[in-house]
Every structure is written in structure tokens, then in C-alpha cells.
Amino acid sequence: MSTVTASRPSAVANEASAQPATPVPTVVETMTMAGALNRALADSLAGDDRVIVFGEDVGALGGVFRITDGLTERFGEQRCFDTPLAESGIVGTAVGMAMNGLVPVVEMQFDAFALPAFEQVVSHVAKLGNRTRGDVRPQLVIRIPYGGGIGGVEHHCDSSEAYYAHTPGLTVVSPSTPQDAYSLLRAAIASPDPVIFMEPKKLYWSKGKVDTSITAELRRASVVRQGSDLTLVSYGPSMPIALEAAAAAEAEGRSVEVIDVRTLTPFDDHTVVESVRRTGRAIVIAEAPGFASVAAEIQARIFEQCFEFLEAPVRRVTGFDTPFASPKFEHWYLPDVDRVLDAVDSLHWEDN
């Protein structure tokens, strides 16, 4: 473990440290998203001895979702360790460590459990770089499992991404595949700026091929399905619904393009705008309530930059503006294929 230094790292030093110090072996294999995140953490710990992982039950237990399984055994209690049940203290400690040259990666057990630390995130994590004119740029990652689809209750299935995306100074990321989970987490840990890493819980057990040599650029959306009639824009937990709806719409004669935003802020306008200007129609899909949401922001940006290209209003398919539903009723709350297809049908098609 690196010795903590008293001097504050400069912006130049932080930029220079953005790449892992030691290369790690390349692996290509099928993994769950949980396994891909675990591999990303292990490779980051192995590649840079400044990286430290901590949070509630992340040590011997391996985290409530087992994302940190085996890390304490492999790297020792100084590199991956448990904390008290005090989220504000966890993030406050991470800020101090980052100010002194370490790279903390902290886990919030569930989305709403992170709210006691929100003041630390907004007042310190997000503002330190600006407050010090770039002399102190806290290099840290806050991992937050979020979203529904696991039969949980409120406080365990919230979608809190809009709070963080609204806060200048933060990069907010949400992967939807095992490959992106690995590559984006490695990029987040290497980033010289603070990253809120939103992990869709219901996708932890989804599987896909992961190539650890593939790198990802933060702030770049991905076109995961090409089409010419309509653009579906989504991220994180709603991406499987977007892809399923695109396939169903294709069976009905619509050619649908699907964009995975991946980084919610800073937002990749170029990829989304280029697609919508070509297709002329757009639907934004997200689990979070629709009012004052990330989906609403994406919708507004499309209207502002694509208005003269649109054949129909931009639609949103989101969670409802209510507290999260109980497990028995969450399937009514979450966006599904039928709701997306209803939105597709409303887009002023000539054959309607």
C-alpha cells in the first residue's frame, strides 16, 4: 500500500497517474456483470498500488452482491477492508485519502443508502477541483448499486442518478453489459476526476463475453443496434428493454436504432443527435421517475438540437412519479416492452 503523503497532488500529477502503473494479464471469457466488476477491481488493485477498496461488508463477506469477493484475501486488509455503517464517514474518508494521493473506490450497499453521504458528495467531492482551481482533483470512485427488478422494497430499488447528474463536477456512469462494466470501471478508476458509478442491480447476473484488453472512453455513448426509422435512447437497467422493444418493432416493420448512453454526464450529444437527425424520431427509456429526470434532460437536448429534423414529438417511457412499488407490483412500475411499443405507435407514422 502506498504511503500517504501530506502534500496535495497537482492537476498535472493527477493527469499523469490516470493510467495503471502495472500491466495486468489479458483475459477473454464469459462473465456475469458482477464477475466483470470484480475483475475490474482486482486488475485495478494489481495495476496501481494507490487504489484502495472499502465500504460496508466488502471485506470478508465480499459485499452484499459479492462484487468484492476474494479481494481482501488476495490483496490484504490494507487494500480492501470493511467500514462502520456510516456512509457520510465512508465518503468523507475517501475525500481525505484522495487529497493525499490515494485512489479510493468505495461501495454504497444500495442506492438510497448513499443518501446520508450526499452532502459530502455535493459539497466536497464535486467541488474540490473548482474550489482549489485544479490544484486538488479528487481521484475517487463511488460505486452505487441502483434500480429495481430484484423484488426489493423502497430504499433498496431507487433510481437516484438524477441527483448526481445534476451536480456539476461529477462524472456519472452506468454500464449495461459485462464488457462495459469491466471497461468503464477501469476507466473510472483511472480518471483524474471523481466518478459516480451506477450499477444496475438486476443486471448483475447477466452474462456476456469480456475482453480485458478492451478500453472504454468515458463520456462516449455507444450505438448498440443500427436502424433508420427511430432512435431508442437508454442506459443501465433499461437497456435490455430497449433492445427487446427494438426487435419487436422490427417485426412490425420499423427499423430501430438503439443507443446506450453509458455516461450520463458529461453527456455525449454528438452520438445521440447524429442518430436522431437521421431517423427523425426518438424515444427515451429509463426506470427513474420521469419528472426532472435524466430522461427529461435527454429529451430536451434532442428537441433543442434536432427540432427541424423531427417527424414526431420525442417520447419518454419511464418509471412513474411515485415512490418505488412493492415487489408484488414493481412489474407495473418499471418500463416494459408494451409501453415502449405504445410509444412507438404514437410517433405519427404515415401508415397509421
Give Cα 310 to chain centroid, integer Å.
Answer: 29
Write down the number of H helices and E strands in the chain. 13, 14
Closest of 50, 46, 38 to residue 4, by C-alpha: 50
In the annotation, is 155 catalytic?
Answer: no
- Tell me the CA distances in angstroms from 259 to 84, 130, 208, 222, 223, one per residue in order: 40, 32, 18, 6, 5
- Which member of 155, 156, 166, 348 is catalytic? 156
What is the DSSP-derived secondary structure letter of residue 6?
S
Say how far apart CA 265 and CA 52 lie, in whole Å. Answer: 25
Residue 6 burial by Cβ neighbours in a 10 Å radius (0-12, 13-18, 19+): exposed
Q: CB-based burial of residue 38 (10 Å sphere; 0-12 exposed, 13-18 middle, 19+ buried)?
A: buried
Which residues participate in catalysis according to the annotation? 156
